[in-house]
């Protein structure tokens, strides 16, 4: 069994996908995105209160990404409050971690910019070529509605397929954003595990000797700690505390 001393050493660095992964939500029985985020954050709260298990989020990159993701999906302020309360915000020390992290960070940002620029150029070429071919045979045909319909239904569909294939060929398995590298640098700095559902992060975590935890299994890992942990007087679970409070308010 895991002793309390070992439990206290557990640290995790969360990528945004640690809170948003579809499989993780299925595991905890919360198909709704916002409710799933709440449930995972409540598990994190229970683990922190009972065993001092710390979950970090790189600041400001991943923290901002989480916050904006929740806002875009119309999550209520409770989700934002839980992010601020139970996740430890920390900026990765890119200059002291034992790898050329600042150069690597700049390289990843540059790669993302170049990949997106290349996609834009390719899309422009597709639009131009398709439009020219469309009216080449009958130059007198200028039905605006028909042209817009074809562009939307045919050319737009082609571009959609192109984007998926382009991402699979050039972005899958690489670190293509600054938040990705921040997660790895902070985990290396803290000797913590990375939680994500990103294959690029998983691949580079292995290269850097950082423990990787799939986002889909992270909630169950926390539940196992809470179920089998010993040596600490457990507090009432956050989810149960919230339920009791709601019942009290309804009776008032």
For the stretch 212-221, pLDDT in tens is: 999 999 999 9
pLDDT classification of 237: cutoffs 50, 70, 90: low
The mean pLDDT of 67-87, rounded to a whole number, is 96
Least confident among 24-28, 158-162, 167-171: 167-171
The mean pLDDT of 142-147, rounded to a whole number, is 66
Compute the radius of gyration of the chain from its Cα atoms.
23
Relative to beta strand 11-14, strand 193-196 is: parallel
**Pairwise CA distance, residues 197 & 39, whole Å:** 18
This model's pTM is above 0.85: no
pLDDT at residue number 247: 55
**Residue among 116, 111, 97, 112 at smallest CA distance from 182:** 97
pLDDT at residue number 136: 54
Q: Is the pLDDT of residue 2 over 50?
A: no
pLDDT at residue number 7: 47
Instruction: Show me where the domains of the chain are located.
Output: 4-95+178-251, 101-170
pLDDT at residue number 165: 79
The mean pLDDT of 13-34, rounded to a whole number, is 96
The mean pLDDT of 226-239, rounded to a whole number, is 62
Task: Report the top-level CATH class of 4-95+178-251.
Answer: alpha beta
The mean pLDDT of 16-40, rounded to a whole number, is 96
């Amino acid at each position: 069994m895991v002793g309390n001393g070992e439990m206290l050493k557990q640290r995790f660095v969360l990528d945004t996908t640690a809170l948003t992964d579809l499989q993780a939500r299925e595991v905890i029985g919360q198909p709704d995105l916002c409710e799933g985020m709440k449930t995972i954050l409540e598990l994190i709260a229970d683990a922190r209160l009972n065993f001092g298990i710390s979950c970090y989020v790189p600041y400001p990159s991943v923290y901002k990404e989480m916050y904006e993701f929740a806002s875009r999906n119309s999550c209520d302020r409770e989700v934002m409050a839980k992010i601020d309360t139970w996740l430890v915000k920390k900026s990765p020390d890119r200059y002291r971690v034992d790898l050329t992290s600042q150069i690597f960070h700049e390289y990843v940002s540059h790669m993302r910019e170049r990949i997106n620029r290349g996609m834009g150029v390719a899309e422009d070429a597709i639009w131009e070529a398709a439009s020219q071919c469309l009216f080449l045979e009958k130059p007198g045909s200028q039905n605006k509605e028909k042209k817009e319909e074809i562009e939307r239904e045919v050319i737009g569909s082609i571009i959609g397929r192109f984007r998926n294939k382009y991402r699979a060929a050039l972005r899958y398995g690489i670190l293509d954003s600054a938040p990705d590298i921040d997660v790895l640098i902070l985990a290396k700095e803290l000797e913590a595990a990375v939680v994500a559902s990103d294959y690029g992060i998983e691949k580079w975590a292995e290269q850097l000797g950082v423990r990787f935890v799939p986002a889909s299994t992270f909630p169950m890992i926390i539940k196992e700690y809470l179920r089998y942990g010993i040596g600490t007087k457990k507090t009432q679970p956050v989810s149960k505390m919230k339920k009791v409070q709601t019942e009290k308010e309804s009776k008032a």
